[in-house]
Chain A
Amino acid sequence: MQLYDQTVDSRLLLGTAQYPSPDILTRAIGESGTEVITVSLRRETAGGSGTRFWDILRSQNKRILPNTAGCHTAQEAITTAKMARDLFETNWIKLEVIGNADTLQPDVFGTVEAATALCADGFDVFPYTTDDLIVAEKLVDAGCRVLMPWGAPIGSGQGIRHPDALRAMRAHFPDITLIVDAGIGRPSDASKAMELGMDGVLLNTAVAKAGDPIAMAHAMSLAIQAGRISYQAGAMEPRDMAVPSTPILGLAELV
Chain B
Amino acid sequence: MITIAGAGLAGLASAYELAKRGVPVRIFEAADQIGSASAARYAGGMLAPWCEAESADEAVISLGKTAAQWWAQITKVTRRGTLVVAPPRDSNELRRFADRTVQHKQCDGSKIAVLEPSLAGRFSCGLHFDQEAHLNPRRALADLARAVQALGVEITLGRPAPARVDLNCTGIKAGLTELRPVRGEMAILRAPDLQLTRTIRLLHPRFPLYVVPHGDNHYMVGATMIESNATRPPTLRSLSELFAAAYTLHPGFAEAAVIETGAGLRPAFPDNLPRLTWEGGTLYFNGLYRHGFLLAPAYAAQAATQLISETAHAHLC
Contact = CB atoms under 8 A, between A and B. Distances in A.
B250 interface: no
A20 B226 contact: no
Contacts of B96: 209
Contacts of B41: none
Contacts of B183: 46, 48
A190 B193 CA distance: 49
Interface in B215-251: 226-230, 232, 235
A52 B287 CA distance: 14
Given A46-B230, A46-B235, A47-B230, A53 B56 contact: no
Which of B56, B181, B230, B232 is the most central at the interface, judged by chain A CB atoms within 10 Å of its CB?
Answer: B230
Contact of A21 (B205, B232, B272): B272
Nearest to B54: A20
B180 interface: yes
Interface residues of A, number: 22
A43 interface: yes
Contact of B227 (A44, A49, A211): A44
Interface string A28-58: 0000000000000001111111111110100
Interface in B158-189: 179-181, 183
B73 interface: no
B272 A23 contact: yes
B100 interface: yes
Contact of B229 (A23, A24, A52, A56): A52
Interface in B272-307: 272
A26 B228 contact: no
Contacts of B55: 20
B295 to A, nearest CB: 14
A45 B226 CA distance: 8
A99 interface: no
Contact of B228 (A24, A46, A155, A209): A46
Interface in A121-166: 155
A113 B181 CA distance: 36
A52 B55 CA distance: 21
A238 B144 CA distance: 71
A216 to B, nearest CB: 14
A55 to B, nearest CB: 8
B99 interface: yes
B301 to A, nearest CB: 24
B92 to A, nearest CB: 9
Given A46-B232, A47-B230, A21 B180 contact: no
Nearest to A24: B271
Contacts of B227: 44, 51-54
Given A52-B181, A155-B205, A20 B229 contact: no
B22 interface: no
A43 B206 CA distance: 13
Interface string B31-72: 000000000000000000000000111000000000000000
B121 interface: no
Contacts of B271: 21-24
Nearest to A26: B270
Which of A24, A49, A53 is the most central at the interface, judged by chain B CB atoms within 10 Å of its CB?
Answer: A53
A51 B100 contact: no
Contacts of B272: 20-23
A22 to B, nearest CB: 4
A49 B270 contact: no
A52 B181 CA distance: 7
Interface in A192-241: 209, 211
Contacts of A46: 183, 226, 228, 230, 232, 235
A43 to B, nearest CB: 7
Given A20-B56, A155-B205, 9 more contacts: A21-B56, A22-B180, A23-B271, A46-B183, A46-B226, A46-B232, A46-B235, A50-B229, A52-B227
18 contacts: A20-B55, A20-B272, A21-B271, A21-B272, A23-B270, A23-B271, A23-B272, A45-B230, A46-B183, A46-B228, A46-B235, A47-B230, A47-B232, A49-B229, A51-B180, A51-B228, A52-B180, A56-B270
What are the nearest 4 A-B pairs in CB distance?
A52-B180, A48-B230, A53-B227, A21-B272
